[in-house]
Chains A and B, each alone.
Chain A
């Protein structure tokens, strides 16, 4: 058990290392470096900047050193929580992100809860009542849900709510709470807004997980142990929950990390369309402005979240499935 955990941790750290390299490359990709960009910015502001000055900045920031030194410098900063300066905001990247990250976390977490609670119940229903009206209904919904890109769903929801309720569903707070300090009322207000991005972000995942759950459960329902369990006199519901559903959970749990990848993946675009005060719009803006340190840091954070999620789902799976424990130990 401990051995497996250590190995998993090793995997996660290795992935993290490669991700950091990718992020560094992304930061380096645009032509020119921070000093050039800084100079261009000042220049655009009407200032005259001499080449020596640019060189000085470059030297000061260590941008004239070899790549791997720069990488190590950057990584060292990352480890200490210093992610560089944002060109646009003229503030440390970590500060800019810290303001918005909690909302992204809340959004991702709520979406995951939404996806799995809805998908599991509907998936079980669809499998147990295969080919019933409800099953067909959810199959159709599932196809549409899978095919609708997040942003389109967001647009449609916005249009519908404007047309029928005459209110905008964008953002996460009502105007009066926009800049208010945290309070119970503000939290409630946020929750009442949160469902829109959660639904938008979670629909495709829910559709996918319903299909998975249905297929896996149908498979399990055909297994011998189901009839064997029935033959002991267990009531149908208890039998379902204890035997096939419990086993169908294993493949579902193993998709947790991957589903989180998708949620995190879709979050920026939904954030942009619904103009949420989370990291999504920040990320997109940093890309469009080539605010490289901010962009790199954002990708690093997104990837870290996903890696952490995958790690957790792996560990959960080991706990849930005695077969895996057994396999690895012998």
Chain B
């Protein structure tokens, strides 16, 4: 036995193991994409949160609990102070107490009260997707209020706001991606299909955009938006600004693929058969590199989210009354508020987890799209 590291007993069974290996090898290869599968599940979960935000959140995003401002997250308990086990989890009651030093009213835990968790409770009414008028919420506390992520300075429920923010932030990503997709495809398509001078100019523009620092550019473009614009207008403007910078990758990919593909047989034969240019692109070229486009778009998704979050955090992106992850983090801007209310950083976890999930999926897709990668 030389240099084996693992001691392996050689016997008849070794060959048996070998038979399984071919199939196992495939499985091992597949296993590497487990992270991508995990990423997809996380993204789907976030999507569900976003789609059913009204139902899943116990409160409306602007609803205030006046006696529980700047309140800390309320933990769920099963065992109360009398060591009695509750089947249904509960939260302790909260009362306002005057701080002996500052003489300010401060919320405090009142262990004499137990507010049990209840499912499908009636609460503030909402219109799900703007259609169904409902007032059922997934959960609530009987006899009091429940803020599992705590509340902000105005007493608004952070958990509910996080769910609504997920909707906004993901949709900024999605809409940004759609813009990116169109700009990228059109610019790359023009460059690759027409070629020559046009191609040259577009490639120079792309190089130019890639060689200037993006965030300051975003910032200054966002700062130039008129202050009196409505939230919706700002929202679209911000997504457009984000995609103005991110289309270059896709355009380059589309262009290089086009340049390679237009020499290929099936395109030439399609042209000989008299197909129109647009039709050739749509019917023959697009499908053949759809996978690359999907990969590129997946990879630029996290940049969209990070971009929106950063802009809003600085007060130059979305603003109240819009609710996005960045807007929520905006209130955690100074050290004092973080020290006193560290739960304001919770939306940051949403940002990190979603970006990691998208990166996992992007990596997995990239591997899958490229059969020659290891």
Chains A and B share a contact (CB less than 8 Å): yes
A residues whose Cβ falls under 8 Å from a Cβ of B = 15, 18-19, 22, 26, 29-31, 143-144, 146-152, 155-156, 158-159, 162-163, 168, 170, 218, 257-258, 261-262, 264-266, 268-269, 272-273, 283-284, 287-288, 290, 295, 298-299, 302-303, 306-307, 310
Say yes or no: is B216 at the interface (Cβ < 8 Å to chain A): yes
Quick one: given A18-B208, A268-B219, are A261 and B224 in contact (CB under 8 Å)?
Answer: no
Quick one: given A26-B220, A155-B345, A299-B220, are A264 and B314 in contact (CB under 8 Å)?
Answer: no
Question: How far apart are the CA atoms of A148 and B348 in the complex, in Å?
Answer: 8
Question: How far apart are the CA atoms of A158 and B344 in the complex, in Å?
Answer: 14
Say yes or no: is B213 at the interface (Cβ < 8 Å to chain A): yes
Please indicate the chain A residues that have their CB under 8 angstroms from the CB of B348 in the complex: 148-149, 152, 155-156
| Interface stretch of the complex, out of B116-124, B161-169, B183-191, B302-310 | B302-310
Please indicate the chain A residues that have their CB under 8 angstroms from the CB of B210 in the complex: 258, 261
Establish whether residues B219 and A159, one from each chain, have CB atoms under 8 Å apart when the complex forms: no
Number of B interface residues at 8 Å Cβ cutoff, please give it.
41
Establish whether residues A265 and B224, one from each chain, have CB atoms under 8 Å apart when the complex forms: no
Establish whether residues B216 and A268, one from each chain, have CB atoms under 8 Å apart when the complex forms: yes
Say yes or no: is B53 at the interface (Cβ < 8 Å to chain A): no
Please indicate the chain A residues that have their CB under 8 angstroms from the CB of B302 in the complex: 147
Establish whether residues B316 and A288, one from each chain, have CB atoms under 8 Å apart when the complex forms: yes
Say yes or no: is B332 at the interface (Cβ < 8 Å to chain A): yes
Can you list 17 A-B pairs, Cβ within 8 angstroms, ordered by A? A15-B212, A29-B224, A30-B224, A143-B356, A143-B360, A146-B355, A149-B351, A152-B352, A156-B345, A159-B338, A162-B335, A268-B216, A269-B215, A283-B219, A284-B316, A299-B220, A302-B216
Interface string of B213-227 (1 = CB under 8 A from A): 111110111011010
Say yes or no: is B313 at the interface (Cβ < 8 Å to chain A): yes
Quick one: given A261-B214, A265-B215, are A159 and B342 in contact (CB under 8 Å)?
Answer: yes
Query: Chain A at the B interface: mostly helix, strand, loop or mixed?
Result: helix
Question: How far apart are the CA atoms of A258 and B310 in the complex, in Å?
Answer: 20
Say yes or no: is B89 at the interface (Cβ < 8 Å to chain A): no
Say yes or no: is B155 at the interface (Cβ < 8 Å to chain A): no
Question: How far apart are the CA atoms of A29 and B374 in the complex, in Å?
Answer: 49
Question: How far apart are the CA atoms of A146 and B305 in the complex, in Å?
Answer: 13
Establish whether residues B212 and A306, one from each chain, have CB atoms under 8 Å apart when the complex forms: yes
Known: A159-B345, A288-B315. 10 other contacts (CB 8 A): A22-B217, A29-B224, A146-B355, A149-B351, A151-B313, A151-B314, A162-B339, A269-B314, A302-B216, A306-B212
Establish whether residues A287 and B223, one from each chain, have CB atoms under 8 Å apart when the complex forms: yes
Closest to B352 in A: A147
Question: How far apart are the CA atoms of A150 and B215 in the complex, in Å?
Answer: 12
Closest to A146 in B: B359
Establish whether residues A22 and B212, one from each chain, have CB atoms under 8 Å apart when the complex forms: yes
B residues whose Cβ falls under 8 Å from a Cβ of A = 207-208, 210-217, 219-221, 223-224, 226, 302, 306, 309-310, 313-316, 329, 332-333, 335, 338-339, 342, 345, 348, 351-353, 355-356, 359-360, 374
Please indicate the chain A residues that have their CB under 8 angstroms from the CB of B374 in the complex: 218
Establish whether residues B214 and A284, one from each chain, have CB atoms under 8 Å apart when the complex forms: no
Expressed in whole angstroms, the minimum distance between the Cβ of B173 and any Cβ of chain A is 14
Question: How far apart are the CA atoms of A257 and B207 in the complex, in Å?
Answer: 12
Establish whether residues B212 and A303, one from each chain, have CB atoms under 8 Å apart when the complex forms: yes
Expressed in whole angstroms, the minimum distance between the Cβ of B338 and any Cβ of chain A is 5
Closest to B313 in A: A151
Please indicate the chain A residues that have their CB under 8 angstroms from the CB of B314 in the complex: 151, 269, 272, 284
Establish whether residues A155 and B332, one from each chain, have CB atoms under 8 Å apart when the complex forms: yes
Closest to A306 in B: B213
Closest to B306 in A: A149
Q: CB within 8 A of A283: which of B207, B208, B216, B338?
A: B216
Quick one: given A149-B309, A283-B216, A302-B216, are A158 and B335 in contact (CB under 8 Å)?
Answer: yes
**Which of A163, A258, A268 has the most CB atoms of chain B within a 10 A radius of its CB?**
A268
Establish whether residues A168 and B335, one from each chain, have CB atoms under 8 Å apart when the complex forms: yes
Question: How far apart are the CA atoms of A30 and B316 in the complex, in Å?
Answer: 14
Establish whether residues B310 and A290, one from each chain, have CB atoms under 8 Å apart when the complex forms: no
Establish whether residues A265 and B213, one from each chain, have CB atoms under 8 Å apart when the complex forms: yes
Question: How far apart are the CA atoms of A304 and B296 in the complex, in Å?
Answer: 29
Please indicate the chain A residues that have their CB under 8 angstroms from the CB of B214 in the complex: 261, 265
Please indicate the chain B residues that have their CB under 8 angstroms from the CB of A302 in the complex: 213, 216
Question: How far apart are the CA atoms of A295 and B223 in the complex, in Å?
Answer: 10
Question: How far apart are the CA atoms of A152 and B345 in the complex, in Å?
Answer: 8
Establish whether residues B224 and A170, one from each chain, have CB atoms under 8 Å apart when the complex forms: no
Expressed in whole angstroms, the minimum distance between the Cβ of B265 and any Cβ of chain A is 31
Establish whether residues A261 and B309, one from each chain, have CB atoms under 8 Å apart when the complex forms: no
Expressed in whole angstroms, the minimum distance between the Cβ of B352 and any Cβ of chain A is 5
Expressed in whole angstroms, the minimum distance between the Cβ of B35 and any Cβ of chain A is 9
Establish whether residues A299 and B351, one from each chain, have CB atoms under 8 Å apart when the complex forms: no
Q: CB within 8 A of B226: which of A22, A31, A295?
A: A31
